[in-house]
Structure formats: structure tokens, C-alpha cells
Amino acid sequence: MLKRCIATISLSLTALASIHCQAAEQPLRIGYVFAMANAPALIADKQGFYKQEGLNVDIKALGDGPIIQQAVAAGELDIAYVGTPPVYQWYSRGLESRILAKVNYGQAAVIANANGLINKVTDLKGKKLAGVKKGSGMDVLLRGFVLKEHAQLDPEQDLSIIDMPPGNMDAALERNIVDAAFTWEPFVSQSVLRGTSKLVLDVNQVMPNYPWYVITALPKILKERPEDVVKLLRAHRKAIAFLNEHPEESNRIIAEAFQLQALQSADGKSILPEQIVAEARKRLGWSAELQESDLQFIQRLMDYSRDLGFMNSSPSLEQLVDTSYLEKAAR
């Protein structure tokens, strides 16, 4: 009888160990907005940095911030590479994600018809500007910073903002459907290199190194898989170092991953996909660190969202940001 009990206990312990092992082997499910600025996610995957950290991942590229946040809310993702506005907007609705690290800085710009009369943002008064969905993260940046703060224009009264996909904006400029467009990389560089548009405002020039995409996780994931989160952030740091230390190689990887096509400029010159990425780097870069200036910018974005009526309340920075895991990853 005693032997039977010992055998039963032994089998139970083995079963528990097996369950624990299976849980440990569950991949960390990562989702990122499919944008050039989120290149660290795909670099970490393609260069094997997740594997180097002993991390099993299931990584997916998704369309935009709201789709990412929906997947997080549904329990389909553990880690998100997403724009800051969707994070605090969804936090105010109950999805209390924590910002763990920065992914990039820069990416957005105002471009105008190459032959048009718009040379500065204040020239947009009375004109038509292509933008993205009202209330989205980029729309908050456009209305709150670019128009209201920088250009002193009323986004509701002083111009018409026309919602359209960024991939359609260049054609809209060429056909004079709009006078200018607010877009991001690689769309800015593709249009400028093609010669169909000119750069009116590089947001990163007037607000240097402003953060955009960040890495987030829910408290549940931070509690259940803290070591995996640290491993992911170590891989993230490696990816950013690779991007900064090997620009030509990383440009080729990015161009292939985003299926960029060669362009022909107005003077007939052929522009290779890697050259588009190199041009984009003039307005876009990568860093993991969340500096005090980054936190101040996040606070400004939350203020813009409230002032524009896109949300009634917002979390404090202390509630929203947790850099302790990034600090552990640096050790």
C-alpha cells in the first residue's frame, strides 16, 4: 500500500513537472504594427536574437494600433509593439498595459505637391490635407502638435483634413485631390525620391527624437513571465544595436521585409529599395531607452487627446510606464 502511494505521488510530481515544462515552452506571442519604425521586432526575429536569449516566440505583423490592442484585450498577444496613443487611450477604457521600452523616434512628416505653393505648415490654411482616421495616434500628433501647437491652425476650421490610407496619398497629391499629406515612412521617402512631392515639415526636426512606437505588456504577463519579458528586452536592445551598427545590412533586411520596390525618379534615375530605407533614416531612428524627454512627450500626447475631445481622462505616467524590466535587461 505504501509503495503504491509513493508511486502515485511520484507520478503526480512527474505530471506537474511536465505541465510546468509545457508552460515554460509556450511561445511568447508578440504582435507589432507593420511599420518600418517597428523594424527592431523583425530584426530580432530574423537575426536570431530571440533564440540567442533562449526565448521561444510567435511573432505577427498586424495592421494598426487598434487591431493590436484588440488582440491584447482578447488574450491573443502577450507583447505589443504599438504606438503610444492607443496604449493610453485603451488604458482609460480598462486595458491597463504598461509601457516597458521605446522602439523608435521620428517617422512622421508633412509633404506637399512638388509643384505646389505650400512650403511651410502655415500655408495649409484653406487647403486640403490628406490624413488618417480621426482620433488615431497619428491624427492626435497631426491635430495636437503639427497644426494647433506648431502652426497655430485650428484643425476643424482652418483647413480640410481628408481621411485616406497612406498608400493612396502620393497619387492624391499628383492628381491635385489634396494639396498636402501627413504621413510616415517609408511613404514619405518614396514620394520625395519619386519627385512627386517636397518635404514641408519633418516632425523629428522640430521635436527631435520624439518617441512613437513602444513595447507594452499587461500586468498579468509581467507577473507570470517576468524572465521572458527581460529576455525579450535584451533581444530588443541587440536588434537596435544591429540597426545602428550595420545600417547597410539592416537596410536590405528592412527593404525585403516590407517588400519595397525600386522607384524611378522624375529625371529617370532608378532608386533601389535600400536607398528608400536610407532616405527614411533621415527622419527615423531607433532607441530602447525611455528618457525624461520621452515621458514628457507622452504626457503631451495625452494632453492633446483630452484637449481634442478624444478621451475624458488619462492615466498618470507612473501608472502607464514601468522601466524596471528594461533596467534588468541592461545588466
Q: What is the pLDDT along the chain (331 residues), one digit of tens a residue?
A: 545 544 444 444 444 444 444 445 699 999 999 899 999 999 999 999 999 999 999 999 987 888 899 999 999 999 999 999 999 999 999 999 999 999 999 999 999 999 899 999 999 999 999 999 999 999 999 999 999 999 999 999 999 999 999 999 999 999 999 999 999 999 999 999 999 899 999 999 999 999 999 999 999 999 999 999 999 999 999 999 999 999 999 999 999 999 999 999 888 889 999 999 999 999 999 999 999 999 999 999 999 999 999 999 889 999 999 999 999 999 8
How far apart (Å, rounded) are the C-alpha atoms in residues 296 and 316?
Answer: 11
pLDDT, one tens digit per residue, over 48-99 is 999 999 999 999 998 788 889 999 999 999 999 999 999 999 999 999 999 9
* Burial (CB count within 10 angstroms: exposed 0-12, middle 13-18, buried 19+), residue 13: exposed
**Hey, what domains does the chain have and what are their CATH numbers?**
27-105+212-261+285-329 (3.40.190.10), 108-206 (3.40.190.10)
Residue reference for cell 519619386: 194
Q: What is the pTM of this model?
A: 0.89
The residues, ordered by sequence, that sit 6+ positions from 251 with a Cβ below 8 Å of its Cβ are: 274, 277, 278, 281
Distance of CA 10 to the CA centre of its chain: 49
Q: 247 preceded by cis ω (within 30°)?
A: no
The DSSP bridge pattern shows strands 180-184 and 213-217 to be unpaired
Residue 128 phi/psi, 5-degree rounding, is -105, 125
The residues, ordered by sequence, that sit 6+ positions from 11 with a Cβ below 8 Å of its Cβ are: none
